[in-house]
Amino acid sequence: MKVERFRATPVLPVIPPNRQSEINSGSGVGGASWFQDEAVLLGELKRSRGTSHTLTIPGYEDLRELKRGGQGIVYRAVQRSTKREVAIKVLLDSAYYSHSGQRRFEREVDLAASLRHPGVVRVYDSGRTSDARSYLVMEFAEGLSLEEFIGQARSDVRRTIATFLKVCDALQYAHTRGVIHRDIKPSNVRVDSEGIPRILDFGLAKIGDDVAASKSGTPGARTAAGSASEQVTSRSDTITTTGQFVGSLPWASPEQARGDHDQVDTRSDVYSLGVMLYQMLSGKFPCDVSGPLHTALNNIVTVQPIPVRQIRTDLDEQLEVILAKALSKEPQERYQSVGDMADDLRHHLAGEPIRARRESAWRGLQRTAMRYRVMVGAGAIALAALAVGSLLALWSASEARTQRDIAQQQTQIAKDESARAMREKDKAEGTVKFLNDLLSGASTVSGTGVEAKVVDVVTKAAATVDESYKNQPRTLAELHSILGNIFLSLDDIPNGRLHHVRATEVLATIKDLPKDDIGLLVARGNIATTYAYEGNFVESARLMQAAIDGYKEHGITKSADLAAAYSVLGVALRRMDKLDEAIAAYQAGIDAAPEPIDPNEPIVLLARANTMNNIASAYHSKNDYAKAETGYKQAIEVYRRAKGDEYSEVIVSTSNLAVLYLNQGRFQDALDLLLPLRDAAEKVYGGEHRTFMIYLNNIANAYEQMSRYDESLAIYEDVIARYRKTGKEHTPEIVVPLSNLAGVYAKAKRFDDAVRVAQESIDVSISALGPNHSSTWLSRQTLGLCLSKAGRVEESLSVLEPVYQATRVGGDKSPIEELWRRCLIASTYAYSLAENERTEDALRVQQEALDTCVAQFGESHFASLRLMEQSTKILEIAGKAEESAAMQARWDTAKRKP
């Protein structure tokens, strides 16, 4: 059974394209001619027929385009039969949508159409246009938008709240029917002439299915999903979040801003309502969304809203508390339903106490800090691990380096001590001046008076630095290094490299510069790092090794730069699959690190833990289980010390260690490790996050290996349900859980289910990954196994034969890498051969598999043991009772070895 493992490897930043080099590289751009040739032009036009611009929808006439968005086009029209005005939303190009997408859309429409509430704009109908696009027919809602309506009435707080409550009621109604709006904002609410607000555009609605209802009871199975009435959501294919999203930015919940669409549920609507009420009462948004998009998104996710009474001092404290609760960053901290929020508002209007409690400022701060850490945790570690010099504290690093340089050089025989000392002093002073100019130069850069961006400032500074410091080459080199690091931290690799290269060039102009000058080594190490950022690990390793050799020639054994250089080298080597060398490099990095000032400083601990985890991962890849286990445990220990239990890296490392145990056949140990952290994992990642799915998959696998099939099934089924819930049922991620589920069904003797699910996993795998992907082969393997267990031996053989043939080749020709897995596949095939009475072939294949596995992994490896069990059975089927018994004995002996 396939077990998923992931590693806490450094996260490389997103690399933007180098605009400078993209000069018109499009082929056949023919910018001048295709549209001037009538035949070509018309040909292209015909090709675009899918989006016809003359639209007819039967039953409706007088279509007039109202507006166009990322999701589709909205028309105003007249229904022929009733002569009433309607709005028709035609969705983009559904010709490419899958069958299931279409079905989902139809279900959505049915649910939306079932909403009958005075506060909800009716959905009347849906259908497909002549060119196969889906459309939705809705009531045409006249009236003011909520914004316009409130603008007139802001001062009357009670009236504002009363109107708002009507919106709440409508939304609560929709929620209880399983419909989430996801795009609540004032422009989606129309207020009619009687002051009744009506919510429109449920076209983005997400529909909730009751998962418990769809599960027919498996005797004894527990659902890990919780209560039967849990609201679950499925993602609609018709959602185009981004177009609407940008316009709806101020009302977007943190989970929407993060892009965690899987996490969006009714509580996201609560958040949006909170923003709306805040806006209605104060005229402002709770978070600053006025800047560039990524700043705005970041603010929504991390910055606490300004308490509303700082803007409107006449508001009641209760309102502030209610808003604060609705606007909590964490969904579980908010009102859990719109109804609850409405209740508190009603209590407030009635002068009664409310349920929401003001939380202490300390907790709020703590929570912000924790959340921020969890989110950027991986990135921060990566940067710390990869930093050469320092990306984090530029000035202090360069100062430190300067001082180290000074210290080092004082132990050598200097040709001209005083001159050198003078140079260092110049350099230090020059650097200070440069940075001051840099920072103070901000106001002179941008002509519009808008706050300058770092990149503008730096670019301008970079242009002048060569001229200003031409007589101070060491300083100049230092500055280029700083600039290089700044650009790297801004994800601009080309400019980053440019400046680091420039640093070496400048140093080269210094007369009588020793070949292994420290500054040069550091600069070379920086250049090597830029290659790692790009993913060019071969080059990175080569250059870094050269730099490291330079340190050695210089007699330097302990240096932060050297340690960082080893760390980067280790990453590069591991990515090149040179595991032994990677481990050696990591180890050398640990040895080379000077004592930190504060060894318990979190960033220091994290860097160390990350290195340990990487080393452990490398050992794990090499199947050196003992060392891997030690490494993981150390890493977990240090992560815990630095960040506590509910921290992503702890979860990841724990899961990795559990996988190790599973590989070793230590199933109970794996379980003991995984179960206590299960809730933390869910909390950190969220119930539908891929990482959490892997985590659950591993728990289920442990149960399965221990033959606790009921528990295993419950979890696998839960995992599958979660995938379905988030619309991931046709993505590659579901293949392994499906395949695992099939296997367990088979073991639990539910053969029909087993075969059905195995087939499903193959189908998904083929469509998502391709017929020759390793996952597809493994899924076929599972099907073969299930058929075999079901007694359908001929079918089983016909399925397993091609799997065996495809995977038996070694090296990079085989779709399956791990040798032990290939041996097990061969063994399964052998067993099937035996069942089909091809005894000679069976014995031959099995022997080969067993010998290979034992030779590579030893007798006591869990795969070897499995193979011995198989051999025992095959020998028995072949009528070789003595040899079968001998094999059994061999198994006994091997199992008892530690």
Partner 1 sequence: MFTLTQTHATLLARLGSPADAAQHGQAWGEFLNRYAELIRGFCRRHSLQPNDQDDVLQDVLLSLSKAMPGFQYDPSIGKFRSYLKTVVLHAIYKKLCQARPGVSLGEMESMAVSQAQTATGDPSTDAQWEQEWRQHHLRQALRVIDAEFSTRDRTLFERYALAGEQPEMLAKETGLTLDAVYQIKSRITRRLSTLIESQIADEG
- Closest by CA position to 506, among listed 527, 482, 523: 523
Q: Are 704 and 744 in contact (CB under 8 A)?
A: yes
Residue type, 509: T
CA dist 825 → 96, 793, 831 (Å): 37, 16, 10
Q: Which of 134, 172, 188, 238 binds partner 1 (CB under 8 A)?
A: 238
- Closest by CA position to 797, among listed 845, 752, 757: 845
**Number of residues engaging partner 1 in binding (CB under 8 A):** 97
Task: Name residues contacting partner 1, limited to 518-547 (CB under 8 A).
Answer: 534-535, 537
- 15 contributes a contact to partner 1 by CB under 8 A: yes
Task: Name residues contacting partner 1, limited to 486-505 (CB under 8 A).
Answer: 491
Distance CA 61, CA 602 (A): 67
Residue 153 CA from chain centroid, whole number:
44
What binding mask, one character per residue, do residues 441-480 give for partner 1 by CB under 8 A, x or -? -------x-x--x-xx--x---------------------
Between 70 and 858, name the residue whose CB sits nearer to partner 1. Answer: 70
Q: Which of 27, 152, 227, 411 binds partner 1 (CB under 8 A)?
A: 27
- 250 contributes a contact to partner 1 by CB under 8 A: yes
- 284 contributes a contact to partner 1 by CB under 8 A: no
Between 19 and 897, name the residue whose CB sits nearer to partner 1. Answer: 19
Please state the closest distance from residue 42 (CB atom) to partner 1, in A: 6
- Closest by CA position to 404, among listed 604, 588, 563: 563
Q: Which of 220, 259, 771, 791 binds partner 1 (CB under 8 A)?
A: 259
Q: Which of 195, 243, 364, 602 binds partner 1 (CB under 8 A)?
A: 243
Task: Name residues contacting partner 1, limited to 76-135 (CB under 8 A).
Answer: 92-93, 96-98, 101
Block residue for tokens 């230590």:
666
Task: Name residues contacting partner 1, limited to 586-645 (CB under 8 A).
Answer: none
Q: Are 68 and 62 in contact (CB under 8 A)?
A: no
Query: Applying CB under 8 A, which part among 239-247, 341-349, 511-519, 642-650 lies near partner 1?
Result: 239-247
Between 243 and 307, name the residue whose CB sits nearer to partner 1. Answer: 243
Max CA separation in the chain (angstroms)? 100
Q: Which of 122, 133, 206, 261 binds partner 1 (CB under 8 A)?
A: 261
Query: Any idea what DSSP says for residue 288?
Result: -
Q: Which of 132, 153, 228, 246 binds partner 1 (CB under 8 A)?
A: 246
Handedness of CA 122, 124, 125, 130 (dihedral sign): negative
Please state the closest distance from residue 758 (CB atom) to partner 1, in A: 17
Q: Which of 769, 819, 865, 877 binds partner 1 (CB under 8 A)?
A: 769
Distance CA 461, CA 476 (A): 12
What binding mask, one character per residue, do residues 154-183 give for partner 1 by CB under 8 A, x or -? ------------------------------
Distance CA 649, CA 639 (A): 7
Q: Are 255 and 266 in contact (CB under 8 A)?
A: no
Task: Name residues contacting partner 1, limited to 793-852 (CB under 8 A).
Answer: none
- Closest by CA position to 16, among listed 523, 540, 488: 488
Distance CA 114, CA 58 (A): 22
3-state secondary structure of 191: strand
Q: Which helix (H) or strand (E) holds 123?
A: strand 123-128
Task: Name residues contacting partner 1, limited to 377-436 (CB under 8 A).
Answer: 378, 382
- 107 φ/ψ angles, rounded to the nearest 5 degrees: -65, -45
- 29 contributes a contact to partner 1 by CB under 8 A: yes
Q: Which helix (H) or strand (E) holds 43?
A: helix 38-47
Please state the closest distance from residue 44 (CB atom) to partner 1, in A: 5
Query: Applying CB under 8 A, which part among 16-24, 581-589, 623-631, 663-671 lies near partner 1?
Result: 16-24
Between 153 and 293, name the residue whose CB sits nearer to partner 1. Answer: 293
Between 76 and 792, name the residue whose CB sits nearer to partner 1. Answer: 76
Between 13 and 143, name the residue whose CB sits nearer to partner 1. Answer: 13
Query: Applying CB under 8 A, which part among 217-225, 326-334, 348-356, 731-739 lies near partner 1?
Result: 731-739
For residue 226 the two structure tokens come to 């919780």
Q: Are 684 and 665 in contact (CB under 8 A)?
A: no
- Closest by CA position to 189, among listed 231, 143, 244: 143
Please state the closest distance from residue 236 (CB atom) to partner 1, in A: 9
- 572 contributes a contact to partner 1 by CB under 8 A: no
Residues 6+ apart with CB under 8 A from 275: 185, 250, 251, 285, 286, 327
- Closest by CA position to 465, among listed 446, 492, 484: 484
Task: Name residues contacting partner 1, limited to 688-717 (CB under 8 A).
Answer: 694
Please state the closest distance from residue 255 (CB atom) to partner 1, in A: 13
Write the burial class of residue 333 (CB in 10 Å: 0-12 exposed, 13-18 middle, 19+ buried).
middle
Residues 6+ apart with CB under 8 A from 690: 733
Between 23 and 213, name the residue whose CB sits nearer to partner 1. Answer: 23
Long-range CB contact pairs, 79-82, < 8 A, 24+: 79/124, 79/137
Task: Name residues contacting partner 1, limited to 295-334 (CB under 8 A).
Answer: 297
Task: Name residues contacting partner 1, limited to 860-889 (CB under 8 A).
Answer: none
For residue 399 the two structure tokens come to 């100062």
Please state the closest distance from residue 348 (CB atom) to partner 1, in A: 30
Please state the closest distance from residue 301 (CB atom) to partner 1, in A: 13
Please state the closest distance from residue 497 (CB atom) to partner 1, in A: 14
Between 138 and 386, name the residue whose CB sits nearer to partner 1. Answer: 386
Between 427 and 722, name the residue whose CB sits nearer to partner 1. Answer: 722
- 14 contributes a contact to partner 1 by CB under 8 A: yes
Please state the closest distance from residue 68 (CB atom) to partner 1, in A: 6
Please state the closest distance from residue 247 (CB atom) to partner 1, in A: 5
- 64 φ/ψ angles, rounded to the nearest 5 degrees: -130, 130
Query: Applying CB under 8 A, which part among 41-49, 327-335, 351-359, 741-749 lies near partner 1?
Result: 41-49
Please state the closest distance from residue 15 (CB atom) to partner 1, in A: 5
Q: Are 438 and 479 in contact (CB under 8 A)?
A: no
Q: Which of 291, 514, 555, 810 binds partner 1 (CB under 8 A)?
A: 291
Q: Please, where are the H alpha helices in 361-492? A: 361-386, 394-410, 417-440, 442-445, 454-468, 473-489
Distance CA 167, CA 144 (A): 14
Between 341 and 564, name the residue whose CB sits nearer to partner 1. Answer: 564
Task: Name residues contacting partner 1, limited to 42-61 (CB under 8 A).
Answer: 42, 44-49, 51-54
Between 14 and 413, name the residue whose CB sits nearer to partner 1. Answer: 14
Please state the closest distance from residue 453 (CB atom) to partner 1, in A: 5
Query: Any idea what DSSP says for residue 332?
Result: G
Q: Which of 6, 372, 751, 857 binds partner 1 (CB under 8 A)?
A: 6
Please state the closest distance from residue 447 (CB atom) to partner 1, in A: 10
- 68 contributes a contact to partner 1 by CB under 8 A: yes
Q: Per DSSP, what are the bridge partners of residue 88?
A: 75, 137
- 22 contributes a contact to partner 1 by CB under 8 A: yes
- For the chain, the 3-state helix, strand and coil shares in percent, each to the nearest 5, are 65, 5, 30
For the chain, count helices (H), then strands (E): 36, 10
- 66 φ/ψ angles, rounded to the nearest 5 degrees: -95, -55
Q: Which of 176, 240, 408, 759 binds partner 1 (CB under 8 A)?
A: 240
Between 247 and 676, name the residue whose CB sits nearer to partner 1. Answer: 247
Query: Any idea what DSSP says for residue 793?
Result: H
Q: Are 281 and 157 in contact (CB under 8 A)?
A: yes
Residue 194 CA from chain centroid, whole number:
47
